[in-house]
């Protein structure tokens, strides 16, 4: 038996058939499916959530040091080898 849709007060009196549940609904309840935009689904729970893997990849961050120092070996500062892994206290 056909179901009567009350379209009183709506701007349009059109109907559509949901592509998921195959139920007849008012046209104002139609919306495209987020994952398959070709499907018209109703707002009664037939629409999928947006798949996060379909979103564009995040942009990489530009990370720089605030106070970079030049790469100078400790041998050049002391003028020779540093015995036993000691530290240079004076240039």
Q: Which domain holds residue 19?
A: 1-48
% residues pLDDT > 90 (the chain): 7
- pLDDT digits 0-9 by tens, 64-74: 888 777 776 65
25 within a domain of the structure (yes/no): yes
- Residue 68, in any domain of the structure: no
Which residue from 42, 47, 39 is spatially nearest to 28, judged by alpha carbons?
Answer: 42
In a domain, 6, yes or no: yes
The span from the CA of 10 to the CA of 27, in Å, is 9
The stretch 19-26 carries a mean pLDDT of 89
Please tell me the total count of domains within the chain: 1
**Strands of 1-91, DSSP E:** 15-17, 24-26, 31-32, 40-41
Q: Give the model confidence (pLDDT) of 34-70 as tens digits.
A: 888 888 999 888 888 888 888 888 888 888 888 777 7
């Amino acid at each position: 038996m056909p179901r009567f849709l009350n379209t009183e007060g709506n701007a349009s009196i059109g109907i559509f058939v949901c592509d998921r549940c195959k139920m007849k609904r008012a046209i104002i309840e139609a919306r495209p499916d987020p994952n398959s935009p070709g499907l018209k689904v109703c707002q009664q729970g037939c629409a999928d959530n947006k798949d996060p893997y379909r979103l564009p990849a995040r942009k990489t961050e530009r990370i720089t040091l605030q106070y970079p120092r030049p790469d100078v070996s400790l041998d050049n500062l002391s003028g020779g080898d540093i015995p036993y892994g000691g530290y240079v206290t004076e240039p």
